[in-house]
Amino acid sequence: MKIPKLPNAQAVIVHDDLDALSIAVAQRIDEIATLAIAERGVFHIALAGGETPHRCYQQLRKLDMNWQKIHLYFGDERCLPNGDNSRNDTMVRKTLLDHIVIPSANVHNIPAQLGGKAAAADYAALLSSVVLDLVLLGMGEDGHTASLFPGNPATENTAIVVPVFNAPKPPAERVSLGMNTLNAARQKIFLVAGAGKHDALEQILLGIGLPAAHIAAAEWHVDRSAITGR
Ligand code: 6PG
């Protein structure tokens, strides 16, 4: 299997399928968390939304992690009522939080129910004193990441946390960590799986500046389907 040389990538690891990718990324999160806690006594991680990370979070909950010293943030959130099934924090609660013991003060949901502008201001205040050790990222079929979409003004917004309007992936109103905040994280890991992501990967390989391509020095975990398109 020819491993694509994604520009800007620190590493590209190809996995047979989503299950293998999920196990591997869960193990990487555990490794990075252990080092961060050993060095600084705490691990700050921003979680990815969407479907791809589900199994990774289900794997993560099986690991013996020091949750007392781990703080969970979100890379983005959809502006929907609290508890809505389509919210990323609802997905994380179901796949991870309901299965581990972590202080509630360590889980930092984006208050997206307040609307994009107010939620972005609130979350920026929280993050202004945090250096993220790791950001997990998905990539959409159009090459978006977090809620930073191609051609959307939010993608160029240099604020710590940005409101997103007119997102092409429903809901139209979202909140996202800004591109600079994503890039300022000590480490970034992409989880990309499925044939539907092949075209966006191809465009990035051709040097097209999709939002995901603007994330520097990330570790890309991709499955064979995303590489081959089959
Ligand atoms: C969201 C996600 C988004 C996601 C990509 C990939 O709120 O939708 O944060 O950025 O990571 O759209 O989504 P899938 O993993 O479902 O393909």
* Triad 146, 153, 6: Cα angle to 5°: 50
pTM of the complete model beyond 0.95: yes
- List residues bridging with 198 in a β-sheet: none
d(CA 67, CA 101): 7
pLDDT tens, residue by residue, 71-111: 999 999 999 999 999 999 999 999 999 999 999 999 999 99
Q: Which atom of ligand 1 is nearest to the CA of 51?
A: 16
In order of 36, 67, 126, 172, the CA distances from 169 in angstroms are 34, 32, 26, 7
pLDDT tens, residue by residue, 28-60: 999 999 999 999 999 999 999 999 999 999 999
The pLDDT assigned to 142 comes to: 98
218-223 sheet: strands from edge to edge: 9-15, 218-223, 187-192, 134-137, 43-47, 70-74
The pLDDT assigned to 5 comes to: 84
Please give the structure tokens belonging to residue 35: 């080092």
- List residues bridging with 136 in a β-sheet: 189
Cα 143 to ligand 1 centre (Å): 10
Asked if the bond preceding 171 is cis, omega within 30° of 0, the reply is yes
Question: Of all protein residues, whose CA lies closest to atom 13 belonging to ligand 1?
Answer: 50
171 lines ligand 1 (CB under 6 A): no
Q: Is the dihedral of CA 106, 52, 96, 25 positive or negative?
A: negative
